[in-house]
Amino acid sequence: MATIDASPLGAPASNPQHEIVNDFSIQVATVNGSGSQSANLILLRSLFQMGIPVSGKNLFPSNIAGLPTWYTIRTNKRGFIGRKKEIDLVVAMNPETAQEDVMNLDSGAAAVYDAKLNLNELRSDVVFYPVPFDELVAPVCPIPKLRKLVRNIIYDGVLAFLLGIEMEEIKNAVYKQFASKPKAADMNWAAAQAGYDWAAENVAKQDPLRVERMNANEGKIIIEGNSAAALGCVFNGVSVVTWYPITPSSSLAETIADYARRFRLDEDGKATFAVVQAEDELASIGMALGAGWAGARSMTTTAGPGISLMNEFIGLGYFAEIPVVLFDVQRMGPSTGLPTRTSQGDLVSCAMASHGDTRHPVLIPATPEECFTMAGEAFDLAEELQTPVFVLLDLDLGMNYWMSPKFEHPTEPFKRGKVLTAEDLERLGGFSRYEDVDGDGVPYRTLPGTPHSKAAYFTRGTGHTIHATYSEREDDWVNNIDRLARKFETARKMVSPPVIEKTDGAKIGIIACGTSHFAVEEAQDQLAREHDIQTSYCRVRAYPISQEVADFIDEHDRVYIVDQNRDGQLGQLIRMDYPGFDPAKLRSIRYYGGMPLDARTVTDDLVKQESR
Amino acid sequence: MSAPATPRKPKVNRLELPVLDYRGGKTTLCAGCGHNSISERIISSYWEMGVDQTQVIKMSGIGCSSKSPAYFLNQSHGFNSVHGRMPSVTTGALLANKTLSALGVTGDGDTASIGIGQFVHLMRRNVPMVYIIEDNGCYGLTKGQFSATADMGSVLKSGVVNELPPIDTCTLAIQLGATYVGRSFSGDKKQLEAVIKGAMAHKGTAMIDVISPCVTFNDHKGSTKSYEYVKENVEPLQEIGFVPHFDEIHLDEEAKPGEVREVTLHDGSHLLLKQLDADYDPSDRLNAMHMLETSAAEGHLLTGIFYVNTEKPDFLELLNLADDPLATLPQERMRPPASALAEVMEELS
């Protein structure tokens, strides 16, 4: 942002010419468990309701209460809502981190803080707004033990005054947030008003930040990726969900249960779904596989450590050819790693999960809308290909709130794959479970319970013939494992193709996947405006890597592959599927600090590599 | 010239099927393996009960025991899954299709060592299935190592002595919530068949521990799971009669009133438990566990049906599932209407 002249408290408001409208980042620093999440969502929602492009990112500890937590809200009138590293306004509510929060600001930024912390003594190049939160909260919240929660809403009111957020929208957001608790809504609305009224009487605006109503959010919703995926499952016929709690995926399974209880009961009140919390990930994938084997649209949800535990079963699913969908909401590994930080570290471990020669289709949504649609695609693919299919979100996508176009009700019929009925068996006189009848590597199956004497077959993870009988013969083994490779080539043509945006004359290509998208599209803008570097963009949406990606690489002089992991895993998968490319041509931009990727990191790294 | 002999019509069951139709592939287990005897009992039980095999799933983990589902019920879907995790696969299959009858076959390593976690939660959930442990106290397929049910003091061929106490799967199952718990011996044809048939008629987890000597690695002097040891130390708790729901009940004339306990199972079949010792109430959990502990301390191998509870709801009932299998519900019951999605979109906008 542009810097402003530092002004001591009480100086006249800055010149309106310096105003920065709908283009800044706010960071709220609080203590985990202090009710700040409600206050932050109200702030986010009120900006959204004013039609301004906005995003909210929760940087939280692996803890329930007591540790520092930060919430970043970014507004951007041009629609760039990826993370921005620079903070323009901090709300310092946490005494533990307040000094550091202020010292980390760029010169010219602003700080709203709890007056008793005396932060204004720390530096002279930051605009300070001390607020007496304790004095303000007492009159609006007569119950002392609730004050810790309600005082956070006061900063919403203060910011509404400072930034020009319409109080009517704050009110709407408060009553939406506390829709089921009218008393709490009233108290919080009173607190927001108290904050606003106090600021209006006592604060002289000195920073340049301001919001202005826009019309960018018509027809949009705000949703977390996990909820979007959950809706995608419920509206695409998921019938068995078996899961084990793990951050950042738990809310996906829980939200499925919530929506399924609303929308997936028969008229007699009985459920057309089962959601079972298993005793561990070994059991959750085991149940999901058993259900897929018996014909359900089944799934599990997990994160990296769960994938590690599930590996043996995933290999069985691949080899015995059982449909199942695994949602992995990636967090930072290895090991327990950073449980509440984002990463794209599970690309390779999912694509190649389990021992022996295994490959699995992986879908990689970048937006809530894709979380919704890819859930449906994943169930179709799993059943059509009879194999485990992964959907890889990450913590940034899964647990943060995003603006999204409204989801469209899916109209395509479910694709249930090659399943033979009793009538089919009667007509055919039987079947061979692992025979490649159609030449696409995908065999036919029957479901347990099919009322025909020729329906049964024996499922096993050991070597088998096309008739599913036990075999240790070399030719049976090789034929079968080669057919599975053929099936994977079928998958390559079926998975979501990449999204390619070519720029005329661009010699440089950028390849990315998942939430790197938001940084990349803004980096393209920065590169063009600041460095006159034109780039084309290919967003990979699935493994196996489609031929279009290889063509994209062919068409550019240099291609930068963006990864949110240390080892360039997206690059590894591309090189594995298309090994012929010159190593000097395929370059890598990697970020693995656990924060959502920001555009500046991509721009700086690319410019540096270009100038070599 | 004598008249051509008319071939004897094979005996058929209620479904007009001969027992041959209930067999499986040729066993590849060792000759004399107790597991083969159990397979025979499974075949005759399912045949005699006139079960429609196409509605049965036969499930297993890994090990000698877990190979055996390939050797019976050829017309049932089978699943030889991964080591120690047949319970979860079976649970999942039943979630997908609650109308299936599940038969799980496992071993002592598959259940009590690697699989103890899944065993515990299967019992706790009371998932409706027959769960047979083919218990030989050792790992046959990897050449005889001890499992967690090996008795203290039993000796490997190499001379290694087991110093750790065994896990008693029956006591554990009763404590955890299984609703039909029994133990038998692979060589006791009559008792084992009655126990299996009772398990088939039960709704809930029916856990049967079957002592099944390993002729290759654990049938020597000093082994507490050898034929010789079991025959000398077995102590039946009752004489078990099983009356299928399609037969009339007639009590054994010799049985005195009070000696015979009659348990009505879910499909209307009856277990007739003729007590051999003191009056034993198979619905008393504490007494069952007490008796198991006492006989173990005395070195007796107690067999019979230790516990039956026909009241407790099974796991699938608790989930309030639709009456039809989830696996094959039509799309209109699986995809909520456009109005439902519009309602959610409105809430989120």
Set of chain B residues whose Cβ sits within 8 Å of the Cβ of A460: 78-80
Domains in chain B, number: 1
Q: What is the pTM of this model?
A: 0.95
* Average confidence (pLDDT) over A76-103: 95
Least confident of A8-12, A318-322, A377-381, A531-535: A8-12
Q: Is A294's CB within 8 Å of B92's CB?
A: yes
Structure tokens at B189: 């044809």
Angle formed by the axes of helices A133-140 and A147-163, to 10°? 110
Q: Is A290's CB within 8 Å of B93's CB?
A: yes
Q: How far is A76 from chain B (nearest CA, A)?
A: 19
Helix H or strand E segment including A516: helix A516-531
Set of chain A residues whose Cβ sits within 8 Å of the Cβ of B141: none
Q: What angle do CA A576, A579, A583 make, to 5 degrees?
A: 110
Q: Environment class of residue A13 by beta-carbon count within 10 Å: exposed (0-12), middle (13-18) or buried (19+)?
A: exposed
Among residues B169, B164, B180, B120, which one has the least CA distance to residue B310? B180
Q: Is B92's CB within 8 Å of A455's CB?
A: no
Q: Give the model's confidence band at A3: pLDDT under 50 very low, under 70 low, under 90 confident, else very high.
A: very low
Rounded Cα gap, residues A484 and A442, in angstroms: 8
Place of tokens 């950042």: A248
Rounded Cα gap, residues A256 and A272, in angstroms: 13
Q: What is the pLDDT of residue A6?
A: 38
* Average confidence (pLDDT) over A367-389: 98
Q: What is the pLDDT of residues A553-566, one digit of tens each?
A: 999 999 999 999 99
Is B284 a member of any domain? yes
Give the torsion sign (CA, A323, A324, A325, A331).
negative
Is B196 a member of any domain? yes
Is B337 a member of any domain? no
Structure tokens at A518: 């938001």
Instruction: Report whether A517 contacts A539 (CB < 8 A).
Output: yes
Q: Give the rounded distance of the alpha carbon of A304 from its chain centre.
A: 14
Percent of the residues in chain A that have a pLDDT greater than 90, as a whole number: 92
Q: Is B319's CB within 8 Å of A274's CB?
A: yes
pLDDT at A10 over 80: no
Rounded Cα gap, residues A544 and A570, in angstroms: 11
Rounded Cα gap, residues B252 and B269, in angstroms: 16
Q: What angle do CA A555, A557, A558 make, to 5 degrees?
A: 110
Is B49 a member of any domain? yes
Structure tokens at A345: 């570290």
Set of chain A residues whose Cβ sits within 8 Å of the Cβ of B89: 286-287, 289-290, 293
> How many CA atoms does the CB half-sphere of A287 hold within 13 Å?
29
Q: Give the model's confidence band at A5: pLDDT under 50 very low, under 70 low, under 90 confident, else very high.
A: very low
Q: Environment class of residue A197 by beta-carbon count within 10 Å: exposed (0-12), middle (13-18) or buried (19+)?
A: middle
Q: Is B79's CB within 8 Å of A293's CB?
A: yes
Is B46 a member of any domain? yes
Rounded Cα gap, residues B143 and B162, in angstroms: 16
Rounded Cα gap, residues A347 and B29, in angstroms: 42
Give the domains, in start order, of chain A with CATH numbers: 16-218 (3.40.920.10), 223-405 (3.40.50.970), 422-494 (no CATH), 499-610 (3.40.50.920)
Is B5 a member of any domain? no
Instruction: Report whether B243 contacts B236 (CB < 8 A).
Output: no
Q: Give the rounded distance of the alpha carbon of A564 from its chain centre.
A: 13
Q: Is A272's CB within 8 Å of B97's CB?
A: no
Q: What is the pLDDT of residue B152?
A: 84
Q: What is the pLDDT of residue B3?
A: 61
Is B275 a member of any domain? yes
Q: How far is A573 from chain B (nearest CA, A)?
A: 29
Tell me the β-bridge partners of A243: A277
Rounded Cα gap, residues A253 and A240, in angstroms: 11
Q: What's chain A's average pLDDT? A: 95
For residue B133, give its domain range.
19-327
pLDDT at A548 over 90: yes
Please state the φ and ψ torsions of residue B157, each to the nearest 5 degrees: -55, -35
Q: Give the model's confidence band at A2: pLDDT under 50 very low, under 70 low, under 90 confident, else very high.
A: very low
Per-residue pLDDT of chain B (349 residues; tens, 9 = 90+): 556 667 778 899 999 999 999 999 999 999 999 999 999 999 999 999 999 999 999 999 999 999 999 999 999 999 999 999 999 999 999 999 999 999 999 999 999 999 999 999 999 999 999 999 999 888 888 888 888 988 888 888 788 888 999 999 999 999 999 999 999 999 999 999 999 999 999 999 999 999 998 888 888 777 778 888 888 888 899 999 999 988 876 655 555 555 778 889 988 899 888 877 667 889 999 999 999 999 888 888 899 999 999 999 999 999 999 999 999 999 999 999 999 999 999 999 9
In chain B, the N- to C-terminal Cα span, in Å, equals 95
In chain A, the N- to C-terminal Cα span, in Å, equals 28
Is B188 a member of any domain? yes
Residues in chain B: 349
Query: For position B177, which CATH number holds?
Result: 3.40.50.970
Q: What is the pLDDT of residue B138?
A: 85
Rounded Cα gap, residues A274 and B315, in angstroms: 11
Q: How far is B255 from chain A (nearest CA, A)?
A: 41
